[in-house]
Structure 1
Amino acid sequence: MIVVLAIGILLGLVLALLFIKGYKSTTIIFSIIVLAAGMVFFKEGQDSKQEQQNQVKLANRNDDENNDTNLETKKSIDETNNQSNNTETSESSNQGSDNQVSRNNDYNTGLKEKYLAELDKLTRETEETGDEDIPWIEVRKQAVEKYDLWDDKLNEIYGVLKQQLSSTEMEAVKQEERQWIKDRDAAVKQVEIEEGPGTLAPYAMTMTKLDMTRDRCYELVNLYLK
């Protein structure tokens, strides 16, 4: 505004000189003044343009700072949410594991009781009836059928142990089982020798296998089922 006022005053002086000193001198002075005014306007325009650029840069810098602040805030919120989610997931996982362990323990305890009850029931069903009215051949047949029931139950328990026990524990059970089979066969052979030829030996041998198999079933359930 001050520059414009100064230019106006100079122009006024030029016009005055125009009428006082003549055309040529006034033209020279007027040209100098116009040139100076043009330089002033040009300089002012440059300063105005620079000021606008500075304002734009300042605005962009403020936007960048705001974006950085928002980004940091969002990052902090995301990290907090992730930590919260991880904590909840960990707690949920731990709770799920605890519940699974509890269910497994309840299942195992119930399984042991279940098999002990089944063994007691099978014991009652396979006890000797002492019925002397049935033929001897029928007695021998019943003994074989009762032994088969106990042998099936032993195989069933053995299969359950394969699912429950670790590989190391199961390997130990296998070693015991091999030794038990040897002991059973040796006991049956001894009965055969003691009974000698006759119709009683096969029955006595079957009953020996039955008794030993029943005892082995109870032993596996009590020792290894959890």
Structure 2
Amino acid sequence: MKKSFIGMAMVLILLLAACGNSSEKSNEESDNQQKETQSAENTNPPEDNEKNDTTEQTEKDSSANTGSLKEDYLKKLNEAKKETEEMRKNPTDSSTYALKNIEGNLFDKWDGLLNEIYQVLIKQLPSDKMDQVRKEQREWIKYRDKTAKEASLKYKGGTQEQLEYVAVENNLTADRCFELVEKYMK
């Protein structure tokens, strides 16, 4: 009984130590992830009147460098794809917790890129074309959520169910980012 208690205590200490290593940045990231998760659950694409300062700065930087946002965003997306592959290949450990943490960070990255791209398209496309993209995006969100749910059901009730859901959601979001840039961006 003592060995079992000591083992449990050690696990608890390690978990608390891991949580204690979080900085204010981690807390900010957690808050941002919660906000993005809430917005992702909303089946409506970002509103036209929402303005992201990061997007504005990215557009200015991109325009100054090459003049083609499409090329700049494709480069940015390819870099994010490489980072995604690297993060998935090299987790801190193979625990479900570590893997969920990676996928959570990837969700932040890809959802942020998707929203950035959407904001650029709002500025670039004529209103009738943007209405088409908006409708398409709403349908895509339903498809993404349904596909991620179906994929996660093979682990129903298990610790990997949520991990699979977010991983599939991330993959589909990455694909959608590339699709929007290649199809609509100038």
Partner of 2:114: 154
| Superimposed CA distance per residue, residues 158-215 of structure 1 (whole angstroms, 9 cap, x where no aligned partner) | 0000000000000000010010011011112212322211111111101000000000
| Superimposed CA distance per residue, residues 135-169 of structure 1 (whole angstroms, 9 cap, x where no aligned partner) | 33111111111111000000000000000000000
Stretches (4+) displaced over 4 A: 106-109
Structure 1 length-normalised TM: 0.50
Give the Cα separation in 1 of the matches to 2:92 and 2:98. Answer: 11
**Letter of the 1:144 counterpart:** G
Partner of 1:38: none
Partner of 2:138: 178
Give the Cα separation in 1 of the matches to 2:94 and 2:181. Answer: 35
C-alpha distance 203-138 of structure 1, shift in aligned 2 (>3 A) = same
Q: 1:191 aligns to what SS in structure 2? A: helix
Q: 1:197 aligns to what SS in structure 2? A: coil
Give the Cα separation in 2 of the matches to 1:182 and 1:122. Answer: 24
Partner of 1:214: 174
Partner of 2:78: 120
Partner of 1:164: 124
Do the aligned partners of 1:191 and 1:204 also contact (CA within 8 Å) in 2? yes
| Superimposed CA distance per residue, residues 81-133 of structure 1 (whole angstroms, 9 cap, x where no aligned partner) | xxxxxxxxxxxxxxxxxxxxxxxxx9996111000000000001111115473
- RMSD over equivalenced CA pairs, Å: 2.2
**Letter of the 1:156 counterpart:** E
Give the Cα separation in 1 of the matches to 2:129 and 2:105. Answer: 32
Do the aligned partners of 1:154 and 1:217 also contact (CA within 8 Å) in 2? yes
Does residue 200 (structure 1) correspond to residue 160 (structure 2)? The answer is: yes
C-alpha distance 159-143 of structure 1, shift in aligned 2 (>3 A) = same
Identity of aligned residues (%): 36
Give the Cα separation in 1 of the matches to 2:96 and 2:148. Answer: 20
Identify which of structures 1 and 2 has the higher relative contact order when contacts are C-alpha pairs closer than 8 Å and 6+ apart: 2
Q: 2:68 aligns to what SS in structure 1? A: helix
Give the Cα separation in 2 of the matches to 1:112 and 1:161. Answer: 10
Partner of 1:13: none
Give the Cα separation in 1 of the matches to 2:150 and 2:134. Answer: 24
Give the Cα separation in 2 of the matches to 1:131 and 1:156. Answer: 27
| Superimposed CA distance per residue, residues 37-56 of structure 1 (whole angstroms, 9 cap, x where no aligned partner) | xxxxxxxxxxxxxxxxxxxx
C-alpha distance 108-177 of structure 1, shift in aligned 2 (>3 A) = farther
**Letter of the 1:117 counterpart:** K
Q: 1:126 aligns to what SS in structure 2? A: helix
Structure 2 length-normalised TM: 0.61
* Structure having the higher Rg: 1
**Letter of the 1:125 counterpart:** E
Q: What is the CA-CA distance between 1:134 and the residue it aligns to?
A: 4.5
Do the aligned partners of 1:108 and 1:225 also contact (CA within 8 Å) in 2? no
Partner of 2:99: 139
Q: 1:163 aligns to what SS in structure 2? A: helix
**Letter of the 1:118 counterpart:** K
